[in-house]
């Protein structure tokens, strides 16, 4: 095969990320890559939260359909958009090296930090995870629901009189907008989403091209993602769950921090642990069990009942 079709979301950021992967595929496999941009349900529905319409799997459904029906040979996703379970005929074949996983505070008055925002400042985000942690850190803030692609959210900072928005550092970095970041929020203040900053390459199970694309896998990143997604899978979490997790690796050991919160930030459960890198997924599942035992079961039940 000399030409590989790679499915991706059609947003500016998704295309920039897909081009990064395309360049790596061309270098590693000696193939030409054609991008197949697709509009997903999650992209088209902007007026309400993802939790109300089916969760983050809405960003991958159409892309996976293109893989399954042969319109694409591989797919590129933001790994944080992937649900805990993917289609059984597909598999995640590679995770290229992770970018900065932290969240970014972008302020209207340049140079401000989260602590420096005025009492009652209006902060935009579309994430229940960020909302819960913002409310826990600064109960005085007014958290404003915010959907749309990265450019739209930056524009709404000005057009809707917001004082700040919270975005992913990786997205801003990949679009050449690093200078727009006023504070890279420390994980101790704002623990990132599962696999934030990571790209995932998906292929068809048993396909030789999927096996070849595994050459793009970054071993340490794959271990970190396995730990974080192990926690996600055990909790069966989706967009409606304020779940955060961040793994780090050193010397054959993976260390994981995880957090589960009430949407209002009134209760935040935190756990951490470590294990050999080969047991990363088990570490994630084990920390999820600890979250459940320490009150997470009740938090999840309340979230799912809409209480």
Strands 243-250 and 253-261: antiparallel
For the chain, how far is it from start to end, CA to CA, in angstroms?
53
Beta partners for 185?
A: 103
Nearest residue to 69 (alpha-carbon basis) of 38, 33, 30: 38
Q: Which token pair is 167?
A: 């975005």
With vertex at residue 18, the alpha carbon angle to CA 42 and CA 63, rounded to the nearest 5 degrees, is 40
- Strands 243-250, 164-168: pairing kind: unpaired
The helix or strand, by DSSP H or E, that contains position 31, with its residue range, turns out to be none
Return the closest-CA partner of residue 253 out of 283, 229, 231.
283
Q: Residue 227 has which token pair? A: 């730990």
Is there a catalytic annotation at residue 81?
yes
- Residue tagged active-site, from 69, 73, 81, 238: 81
| Alpha carbon distance 131, 284 (integer Å) | 23
Which residues form the catalytic set?
A: 81
């Amino acid at each position: 095969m000399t030409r590989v079709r790679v499915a991706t979301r059609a947003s500016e950021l998704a295309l920039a990320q897909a081009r990064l992967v395309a360049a790596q595929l061309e270098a590693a496999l000696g193939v030409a890559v054609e991008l197949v941009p697709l509009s997903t349900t999650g992209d088209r529905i902007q007026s309400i939260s993802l939790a109300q319409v089916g969760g983050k799997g809405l960003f991958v459904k159409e892309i996976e359909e293109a893989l399954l029906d042969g319109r694409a040979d591989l797919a590129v996703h933001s790994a944080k958009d992937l649900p805990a379970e993917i289609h059984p005929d597909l598999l995640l074949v590679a995770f290229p090296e992770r970018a900065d996983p932290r969240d970014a505070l972008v302020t209207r008055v340049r140079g401000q930090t989260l602590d420096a925002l005025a009492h009652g400042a209006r902060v935009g985000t579309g994430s229940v995870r960020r909302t819960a942690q913002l409310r826990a850190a600064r109960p005085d803030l007014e958290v404003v629901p915010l959907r749309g692609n990265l450019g739209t959210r930056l524009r709404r900072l000005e057009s809707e009189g917001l004082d700040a928005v919270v975005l992913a550092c990786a997205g801003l970095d990949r679009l050449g907008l690093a200078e727009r970041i006023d504070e890279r929020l420390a994980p101790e203040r704002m623990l990132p989403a599962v696999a934030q900053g990571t790209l995932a390459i998906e292929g068809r199970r048993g396909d030789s091209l999927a096996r070849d694309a595994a050459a793009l896998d970054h071993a340490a990143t794959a271990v970190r993602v396995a730990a974080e997604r192990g926690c996600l899978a055990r909790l069966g979490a989706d967009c409606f769950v304020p779940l955060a997790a961040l793994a780090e690796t050193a010397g054959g050991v993976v260390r994981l921090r995880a957090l589960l919160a009430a949407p209002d930030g009134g209760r935040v459960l935190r756990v951490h642990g470590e294990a050999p890198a080969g047991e990363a997924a088990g570490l994630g599942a084990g920390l999820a069990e600890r979250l459940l035992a320490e009150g997470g079961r009740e938090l999840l039940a309340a979230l799912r009942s809409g209480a």
